[in-house]
Amino acid sequence: MESDASSNPYKIRRATGSSAGQQPARRSGGCGWIFLCLILTGLLGLTWLGILGTAGAGIAMSGAKNQGFWEEFVVEESSSEDRVAIIEVAGLISNLAVDPSGMTMVDSIKEQLALIADDDSIKGVLLKIDSPGGEVLASDDIYRELQSFQEVTGKPIVASMSGLAASGGYYVAAPCHWIVANELTITGSIGVILHSYNYRGFMDKVGIQPQVYKSGRFKDMLSGEKAPDEVLPEAKAMVQDMIDETFDRFKEVVQEGRAYSLAQNNGESKSLVDDWEDYADGRILSGKQAFELGFVDELGNFDKAITRMGMLIDRSEFDLVEYKLPFSFGNLFRLLGQASKARIELDLGIALPRLQAGRLYFLAANYIQ
């Protein structure tokens, strides 16, 4: 992560709004609605002609990786020129694209950290976490980005746990300079899970027999078509070894992170209790329990995290800012161009993470679909 601003491929477009996380106010009126209707009519006409489906791919989207503009918004303004940036980790942690530009959660955090590293007026980062966890690799990628950012820039990161910061949600908090959790935060769930279904019994009932051609006897070791007695003991052992290896890495991250916090805060952070590994068995913990066990440093809400940041950077006042990718017609074009791929889904009023077969997850078990 370079400190030379000229080498940073990411750019900022400063917004004029200063309300909490909101877009700058725009003047509304009859002319604006007429203009918007004209634009939408033109877009619909282009879609009808089939132009957008092919033109979208050639448009440089603001927000595309390594070439996009970020807009900076002032969440809370002060009389000081010093600032602290807010970065959110919300929802399932994944390396899958979260928008039409191909941006992933890992990409988003990496780009924001690069912008912050090059801005001397930003003295630290508040990491707002509200996540049940997610993919092992994505969680580890974010962990490494946060760790490297602090080592290279010397700017502290204070993690603020919201309603949920479990499994991978705690994994990304571990390298932070200081961790704040609400007493009622759901956290912990330290462990690894690989989840799948065996549907051979159903296949037998409807008269379907699998026909498999493979290059080696372990090639279908994770297949849901195999009868339970057909699963090789060696295959089970290999999967379990992989789970155990990843779990050891999780515990290593926790131990290193808590040791780092103690060192950076001259022993003022909470240290892990001697038998902390007994609680790293997948169980969920309240914020209060996590504090008592040494997994977090302080109990409180986001305001408490802001106060702690002021103590760490020795500032009584500072602006709070955040970065957002602006609306892009390029993104709209690509969305419209994908209209042929539309599908109908049943909305049950709840959002559940979609897990992919064969992937390892740092994920709270009660959030598995």
Q: SS3 of 88, please?
A: strand
Contact between 179 and 297 under an 8 Å Cβ cutoff? The reply is: yes
**Residue whose token pair is 């994944």:** 94
d(CA 323, CA 337): 27
Of the candidates 19, 80, 196, 219, the residue annotated as catalytic is 219
Burial of 61 (0-12, 13-18, 19+ CB in 10 A): buried
**H and E: helices and strands count for the chain:** 10, 12
Q: In this structure, what DSSP letter does residue 96 have?
A: S
For residue 93, the one-letter residue type is I
- Could you tell me which of 187, 174, 183 has the C-alpha nearest to residue 301? 183
Q: Count Cβ atoms within 10 A of the Cβ of residue 107 and give its class: 0-12 exposed, 13-18 middle, 19 or more buried.
A: buried
Catalytic residue from among 62, 160, 162, 167 = 167
Angle at which helix 30-49 crosses helix 329-337, to 10 degrees, equals: 40
Q: Residue 219 catalytic?
A: yes
Distance CA 48, CA 40 (A): 12
Half-sphere exposure of 113 (CA within 13 A, CB side): 28
Q: Annotated catalytic sites, by residue?
A: 167, 219
